[in-house]
Amino acid sequence: MSKDKFVFIEQTGEDNEAIRPSLTYWQDAWRRLKKNKLSMMGIAVVILIILFGTIGPSFTEFSYSDQINEYKNLPPILDMYELDGRYFHVSNDYNVFLVAEDGTIMERLNLDPLKRDMINKIYTYELGEEEVILDFSYNLLPNKMGYDYDYTLELDGEVAKYAALTKLNKLNPFGTDSLGRDLLTRVMYGARISLLVAFVATMVNLFIGVVYGSIAGYEGGRVDNIMMRIVDIINSIPLVLYVILLMVWFRGGGLTNIIIALSSVYWVSMARLVRGQMLSLKEQEFVLAAEVMGVSKSKIIFRHLIPNAMGPIIVSIAMMIPSAVFTESFLSFIGLGVSAPMASWGTLANNALSGLTTYPYQLFFPALAIAFTMLAFNFIGDGLRDALDPRLRKG
């Protein structure tokens, strides 16, 4: 056939444009994940919480262990009474504070023990040369019931019955705890500890679980049988119980101990998951090809099998982190957490319990932090599952 029978087709750009750029598995998953608004919100919240915990403390004037005994149990929202152009706040434990108009606490008024009239429930405080009289007998003494206010403040004959202003506490935006420590700073440090425990424990679980599971799954036979019986036994023990036992064994708290306790117990579910993946993956041709070429077992596991099982593993990690946060706060809550003055969210919540009815805000912020973190990780986990494994997509 002669050459002139062939004509070159003129190349146009149009044909190429119609073809979508080829995406790798991860690019595709990321594309799907980006479409999931809740997951993106979750990622944003997690990043915010990490920033909150890492660089947050450098923006506050306090350290997590600074105790200012004068400023204990201060709420995040101050009710301010106006007297003679100055503002006063009466705390729930009957301390009177001089407050600037913008909500910054200036000083605590000194209370002379001799001027503390417990029977009539009238305290007299010193403000320089002047005297501020707090009468909190209303609705407490039998002959003074039925008032719609609980206390009055008196300065130079001027009496304030109702709060004139309600301002956010400038100095301690989250309030202070029963030892006068700034709660905002403590919640920030709590984020550090809670997240550190969660991440490290999850990473250790990931490592043990993945290696254990893939060896069991790939080897199969007797090895698999024995390894999985061990997992079954660990799995049939209530895990929280064993974490508590381990914590007792380690003699109580300490960051490292919590991490060790959490990571020595929680890897079993990961091991099961990975083993299941291995069982189906190892039957595929690419493994056979690798075996035929004489690739070593460990290389097959780490280079060929594990990367292919990464999807479900990542989903499982995203679900594991909140459960580690949860378990850590639970352990701290029953008194096996980090030791004072360090604090995790669980310890903060536990400390707040005793004064709950009077100072509910002390529980509110750590509880909110835990709930937000759990929510964010749950959303991320749901989104990752949908993105990485479309077969499992719900609804």
Partner 1 sequence: MKSFYLKRIVSMLITIILITTLTFTMMHSIPGGPFTRERPVPPEIMRALNAKYNLDDPLPIQYLNYMKGLVTFDLGPSYSKIGTSVNDLIISGFPASAKIGLIASALIVVLGIPLGVISALKQNSPLDYFVMFLATIGITVPSFVIATVIIYFFAGKLGWIPSFGLNTPASYIGPVVALAGYSLSFVTRLTRSSMLEVLRQDYIVTARANGIKEFTVIMKHAVRNALIPVVTYIGPMIAAILTGSFVIEKIFAIPGIGRHFVESVSNRDYTTIMGITVFYAVFYLIMIFLVDVAYALIDPRIKLKGDK
Binding stretches for partner 1 (CB under 8 A): 229, 232-233, 236-238, 241, 244-249, 251, 322, 326, 329-330, 333-336, 349, 352-353, 356-357, 360, 363, 367, 370-371, 374-375, 378, 394-395
Q: Which is nearer to partner 1, 153 or 352 (CB)?
A: 352
The SS3 of residue 330 is helix
SS3 165: strand
Q: Which two tokens stand for residue 268?
A: 């079993």
Tell the smallest beta-carbon distance from residue 58 to partner 1 (Å): 29
How many residues are recorded in the chain? Answer: 395
Residue with smaller CB distance to partner 1, 55 or 233: 233
**DSSP secondary structure string for all residues of 254-321:** -HHHHHHHHHHHTTHHHHHHHHHHHHHHTTSHHHHHHHHTT--HHHIIIIIIHHHTHHHHHHHHHHHH
Closest to partner 1 by CB, 55 vs 353, is 353
- The residue among 122, 150, 116 whose CA lies nearest residue 134 is 122
Q: Which is nearer to partner 1, 23 or 237 (CB)?
A: 237
Nearest to partner 1 of 179, 363 (CB atom): 363
- Nearest distance from residue 249's CB to partner 1, in Å? 5
- The DSSP letter of residue 7 is -
Q: How far is the CB of 73 from partner 1 (least distance, A)?
A: 16
CB of 341 to partner 1, least distance (A): 19
Q: What is the closest distance, in whole angstroms, from the C-beta atom of residue 310 to partner 1 in the complex?
A: 23
Least distance between partner 1 and beta carbon 246 (Å): 8
CB of 201 to partner 1, least distance (A): 17
CA 183 to chain centre: 15
Question: For residue 319, how many C-alpha atoms fall within 13 Å in the half-sphere facing its CB?
Answer: 14
Q: Which is nearer to partner 1, 95 or 194 (CB)?
A: 194
CB of 372 to partner 1, least distance (A): 8
Pick the closest to residue 228 from 204, 212, 240, 241 (CA basis).
212
Give the SS3 label for residue 199.
helix
Measured from the CB atom, the residue of 307 and 360 that comes closer to partner 1 is: 360
The amino acid at 363: L
Beta bridge partners of 304: none
Choice between 305 and 343, CB closer to partner 1: 343
Strand order in the sheet with 165-168: 105-108, 96-99, 86-90, 77-83, 165-168
Residue type, 114: L
Q: How far is the CB of 75 from partner 1 (least distance, A)?
A: 15
Nearer to partner 1, 67 or 378 (CB): 378
Looking at residue 61, its amino acid is E
DSSP state of 143: G
Question: Cα(286)–Cα(169) distance, rounded to whole angstroms?
Answer: 64
